[in-house]
Amino acid sequence: MSYSVDKTPEQWREQLDPDRFAVLRQAATERAWTGELLDESRAGLYTCGACGAELFRSGTKFDSGCGWPSFYESVRPEAVELIEDDSLGMVRTEVRCAACGSHLGHVFPDGFGTPTGDRYCMNSLALEFTPETEE
Ligand SMILES: [Zn+2]
């Protein structure tokens, strides 16, 4: 798969701080309950921490109790790329930014009570949040 934003590992390492590089480009997972966007509840837009592509709207964020920011749907189906991930001895679905291929987190079919039933379990470090400007 080729991405519209295509950089070498060296370029990403230069652009991103080490914690973000580890998550976005090396698929690390931040510790639960540590992400600064976990309790973000303002209206706004969540974008890719690597390339700035639009990923999630605040209206689809919900409190899943898992310790990571959770959404029930992406801003557009084609905004994210879903990849089967059988690392750690379990089958999960990895979620990547479709524009740059950066790792965002995983999606699980256990978003109980949400309109889609999905839980996009995202690393806070993989996202940027822009609040809607107040009138
Ligand atoms: Zn991206």
Annotate 82-105 with b (16+ C-beta within 10 A) or e (fewer): eeeeeeeeeebebbbbbbbbbbbb
CA of 87 to the centre of ligand 1 (A): 22
DSSP H helical ranges for 27-95: none
Q: Which domains does the chain have, with CATH numbers?
A: 9-131 (2.170.150.20)
- The pLDDT tens digits for 4-56 are 999 999 999 999 999 999 999 999 999 999 999 999 999 999 999 999 999 99
CA of 99 to the centre of ligand 1 (A): 5
- The pLDDT tens digits for 79-99 are 999 999 998 888 999 999 999
Active-site positions? 121
Helix (H) or strand (E) holding 14: helix 9-15
Q: From CA 60, how far away is CA 21, in angstroms rounded? A: 26
- The pLDDT tens digits for 53-66 are 999 999 999 999 99
Identity of the residue numbered 103: H
CA of 135 to the centre of ligand 1 (A): 29
pLDDT given at position 2: 84
